[in-house]
Each structure stands twice: as structure tokens, then as C-alpha cells.
């Protein structure tokens, strides 16, 4: 394959080339590293490059392939979001607090993907501690959208989304607490899947909100996402929140028909908050699914508008508890010459955390305080149950729920940083899925003004296979997922 073909190739195509011996993993890894070196200064999508380790891993993968061994991901390069602990490689969460933290162990996701033969190229930029929707809160500077470098890539997994879109690697990992895989996937024109809560182990993922966080794949296609999810999934005895439930053959079900499948269309997702041009792209995508035999069904999710206030009480409250460990004593940033323990805690946290992280810690601590727990946190948990019940009722009349992944296309850098509420509204269509613990994914569904639009698909708990099947069928009949930033001027 020529370098231009490599940057747009899927993991499935690259795996076939590796097995056909028309390409080696070492050559592929070198090409990816060269692309990162050339284009990352403009995008700032990758903050740590593990060149020596990557080339060594690629050489081992070639040896495995030469013996006729290995699996479909053997020798395929990938980038990990810098929230996954990687043994011997800096894991910063894009924060000064963890700027020099080198974990002594790998996250379970990292271990499973490494054992599957993938080649880790490095770590991608993100919003600090995954708190943000634009990758603008990073200690290491903003990430830019490869479709338009004056715009954001979304967040918090914006670095991974931008990297995959720009051809730095065919695969990336992300985490999704309220939309942090699906929203950047939408804004960067890639496929991003948030699995059911518990499908993928959270061990070794730096915690933001423990009842919401979930890791997932960020790829070009649904087929690539199925390959990754197959490896990432499964119970982890070291993670009590991982589900001991059978992992289906995700790729094996991709070719099944979607004729007769009922797709629910929530009225609440097509409100005044949605850009009409995005709505038009989403409706066109739904019509394509209808041509494949799917049935469109109108449904109601009446508590959708309660999702944002509910999420922004629960998530900050859990973040407040999780981030209390960063006190300047055991690990993380420590201020110079503290006068006493109080000074140590105050200055270490003041210096180590950015503004958005501090804002959420304060909100969360307030919501958990004795005088306000019942009024805020307890009430939010009650509304969370109502949101979950909305989905349960909706799935009585449909098999999949579909709608927009984001209210608009990628917005300009700096345009929402001074207005946190406007930034929070970016997650209006995604965060209810996390509150209910359901799987959701975003797939490319068109472009508006040359910028990608994502179609969101939401499924029943542990039914990622159906989402992947619908997404794959859509991608077999459309070319939106084939578009790259270099072809942005071409018609969709």
C-alpha cells in the first residue's frame, strides 16, 4: 500500500495485507510514526510517542505472523487515550497533577489489546481528567480538528478521534462518561462505540465518575470496532463493576439483515437545540436504514431535558470523591516547601488541577455536603432512575434508538470556553445513555459545510451486537465513513 492508502486504511484491510505479506507490521508502524511526526505539530492529538516500544512490538508481531499465528489485530498500530495506565509509559490524564506519573502496571484494556498483538504507538491528548467536551482543558494545549484546524475535535477523547481521522493510527481507545467517545467521533467523522456499563473492565482507567465511565473503541468502521470490542470485553476479576456475562461474536453477526428491525426515533432529540442541517443529515441516514428494511417508530423519552442537570450533579459528585486522592502526599503533583499539611493540600491541588476540574470538584463537593445531599445528589439519583425507565419503556416498542450524536458540527476553538453551560449542552444527546448504563455509538452520516455529522445508535443493555450490525449495514451502503480530511472537498 502507498502511504496515502495506509493513512485511510481500515484495520480489517491492513490485517489482510499483513497476512498476505504485502506489508509488514514494522513498515506499517514506521509509516504511522512518520505521519504523527509530520502532522501532529498542527493537531496536537498525540502527547506521548512510544517509538522504540512500538517498533519492538511490531517486530514481534511480524515474527508471530511469519509463523502463521496471531489474530486479526496482530501487528495493527493503535493509540491509547492518556487516561489508560500504561506500564513504563507516562500516563498524565492531560493534567499537571499527573504530568510525571509512570504507572507500574497496565490497564486491563491495554493488556488485552497488547495480548491480541496490537502495536501501541503512544498516548492521545484529552480534556483534563476527561472533564470537557472539546479537548481544550488539556495541560498540554488544545487539540485541533483535522477537518478544520480552527475548530475543536470534541472531547474528552478528542485526541483519539482526531488521530484516527487524521490517519495517525487505524485504531484508538477512548472513554465515555457522558458522551466522550460518541461526541468527538461525530465531530471528527469516525466510528466511536460506548459499550454497556460493565462490558469492559475499568481497571487501570484513571477514574472520573465511577458509575458512568466506560472504555470503548474509536475506529474508521463498525467492523473495526467489532474487532476491538471483541478483545476489550469480558469479566475482569480485578474489577467488581465488570459484568460476568457472555461476550458474543460481534464480527460474526455483522452480516445479518436488519429487515424488520424497529428503530425508535425520539421526538425529544429533534428539538430547537439541534442544528436543522444536522437533523436533515440524520433523517437521510434513517431513510437509508429504512430502505434496508428497518422500520422507523416514533418514541418518547420524556425526561431527556433532565439529563444535563442530573448528570452535572452525579458526575461532579463522583469526581469530587475520586479526585480527593490527589493530595500531594502519595503521588501526583506536590507543591514546593509546604508550610504544613493544610498548605500542602491547598497548594498542590491549586497548582495541579485546571479550572474545569476545580469547578467540577467544587460542584460535586457542594452536592455531597450534609446540608444539600438530599436536595441535590439524592434527587439526581431519583431522576436517573426515571431516565433509565424511559429507555426501558421505549425498548418495548423498538430494538434500537437513533438520533443525532451532537447538536451541531465542530465549533470554533475558544468559542465556548467562557460559557460552561453552553459547553455542557454539547452532550445533550449522549449523557442520558451513560446515566442508564446502555451502549451507544456514533457513525459518520454526512457533512454540513464540509464538517462531519454523526448518527447516534442506542441499544439495550449488552446488545452492542445489534448496534454494530445496524452500523455495518449502513456503512456497506454509504460512503460517509470513507471520507477523510484530505478529501473534505469531495462530495459525500
Q: Is 273 exposed, middle or buried (0-12, 13-18, 19+ CB in 10 A)?
A: middle
Q: Which residue has the cell 517486530?
A: 59
> Could you give the CA distance from residue 410 to residue 396 in angstroms, rounded to a whole number?
34
From 15, 157, 180, 242, active-site residue: 180
Cα Dmax for the chain: 70
The HSE-up count of residue 132 (CA atoms within 13 Å, CB side) is 35
Active site residue 21: no
From 7, 25, 156, 233, active-site residue: 156
Active site residue 194: no
Q: Are 316 and 367 in contact (CB under 8 A)?
A: yes
Task: Determine the 3-state secondary structure of 148 from DSSP.
Answer: strand
Which residue from 306, 264, 266 is spatially nearest to 397, judged by alpha carbons? 264
Q: Are 424 and 360 in contact (CB under 8 A)?
A: no
Task: Determine the 3-state secondary structure of 387 from DSSP.
Answer: helix
Q: Are 307 and 271 in contact (CB under 8 A)?
A: no
DSSP-derived secondary structure letter, 79: E
Q: Which residue has the cell 436533515?
A: 280
Active site residue 442: no
Dig out the grid coordinates for 16 from the structure.
489482510
From 15, 24, 81, 233, active-site residue: 81
Task: Determine the 3-state secondary structure of 172 from DSSP.
Answer: strand
Q: Are 425 and 308 in contact (CB under 8 A)?
A: yes
DSSP-derived secondary structure letter, 105: S
DSSP-derived secondary structure letter, 477: H
Which residue from 432, 306, 435, 421 is spatially nearest to 356, judged by alpha carbons? 421
Task: Kindly list the catalytic residues.
Answer: 81, 156, 180
Amino acid at each position: 500500500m502507498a502511504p496515502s492508502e495506509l493513512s485511510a486504511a481500515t484495520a480489517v484491510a491492513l490485517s489482510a495485507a499483513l497476512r498476505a505479506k504485502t506489508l509488514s507490521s514494522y513498515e506499517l508502524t514506521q509509516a504511522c510514526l512518520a505521519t504523527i511526526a509530520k502532522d501532529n505539530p498542527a493537531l496536537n492529538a498525540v502527547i506521548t510517542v512510544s517509538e522504540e516500544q512500538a517498533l519492538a512490538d511490531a517486530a514481534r508481531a511480524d515474527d508471530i505472523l511469519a509463523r502463521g499465528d496471531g489474530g486479526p489485530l496482530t501487528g495493527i498500530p493503535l493509540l491509547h487515550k492518556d487516561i489508560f495506565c500504561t506500564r513504563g509509559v507516562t500516563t498524565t490524564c492531560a493534567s499537571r497533577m499527573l504530568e510525571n506519573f509512570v504507572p507500574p502496571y497496565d490497564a486491563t484494556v491495554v493488556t488485552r489489546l497488547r495480548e491480541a498483538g496490537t502495536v501501541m504507538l503512544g498516548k492521545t491528548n484529552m480534556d483534563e481528567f476527561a472533564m470537557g467536551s472539546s479537548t481544550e482543558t488539556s495541560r498540554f494545549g488544545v487539540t485541533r480538528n483535522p477537518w478544520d484546524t480552527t475548530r475543536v475535535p470534541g472531547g474528552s477523547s478528542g485526541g483519539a478521534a482526531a488521530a484516527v481521522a487524521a490517519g495517525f493510527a487505524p485504531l484508538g481507545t477512548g472513554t465515555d462518561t457522558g458522551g466522550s467517545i460518541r461526541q468527538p467521533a461525530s465531530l471528527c467523522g469516525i466510528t466511536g462505540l460506548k459499550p454497556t456499563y460493565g462490558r469492559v473492565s475499568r481497571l487501570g482507567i484513571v477514574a472520573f465518575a465511577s458509575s458512568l465511565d466506560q472504555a470503548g473503541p474509536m475506529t474508521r468502521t463498525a467492523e473495526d470496532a467489532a474487532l476491538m470490542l471483541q478483545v476489550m470485553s469480558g469479566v475482569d476479576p480485578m474489577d467488581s463493576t465488570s459484568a460476568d456475562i457472555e461476550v458474543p461474536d460481534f464480527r460474526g453477526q455483522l452480516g445479518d439483515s436488519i429487515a424488520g428491525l424497529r428503530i425508535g426515533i425520539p421526538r425529544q432529540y429533534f428539538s430547537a437545540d439541534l442544528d436543522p442541517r444536522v437533523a436533515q443529515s440524520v433523517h437521510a441516514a434513517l431513510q437509508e436504514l429504512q430502505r434496508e428494511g428497518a422500520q422507523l417508530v416514533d418514541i418518547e423519552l420524556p425526561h431527556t431535558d433532565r439529563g444535563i442537570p442530573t448528570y452535572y450533579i452525579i458526575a461532579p459528585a463522583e469526581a469530587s470523591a475520586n479526585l480527593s486522592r490527589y493530595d500531594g502526599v502519595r503521588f501526583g503533583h506536590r507543591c514546593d516547601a509546604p508550610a504544613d499539611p493544610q498548605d500542602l493540600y491547598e497548594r498542590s491541588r491549586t497548582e495541579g488541577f485546571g479550572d474545569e476540574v476545580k469547578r467540577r470538584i467544587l460542584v460535586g463537593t457542594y452536592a455531597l455536603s450534609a446540608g444539600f445531599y438530599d436536595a441535590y445528589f439524592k434527587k439526581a439519583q431519583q431522576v436517573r432512575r426515571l431516565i433509565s425507565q424511559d429507555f426501558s419503556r421505549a425498548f418495548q416498542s423498538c430494538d434500537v434508538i437513533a438520533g443525532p450524536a451532537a447538536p451541531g458540527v465542530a465549533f470554533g476553538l475558544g468559542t465556548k470556553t467562557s460559557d460552561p453551560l453552553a459547553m455542557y449542552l454539547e452532550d445533550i444527546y449522549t449523557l442520558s445513555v451513560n446515566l442508564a448504563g446502555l451502549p451507544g455509538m456514533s457513525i459518520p452520516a454526512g457533512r454540513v459545510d464540509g464538517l462531519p455529522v454523526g448518527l447516534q445508535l442506542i441499544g439495550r443493555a449488552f446488545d452492542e451486537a445489534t448496534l454494530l450490525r445496524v452500523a455495518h449495514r449502513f456503512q456497506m451502503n454509504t460512503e460517509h465513513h470513507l471520507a477523510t480530511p484530505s478529501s473534505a472537498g469531495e462530495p459525500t
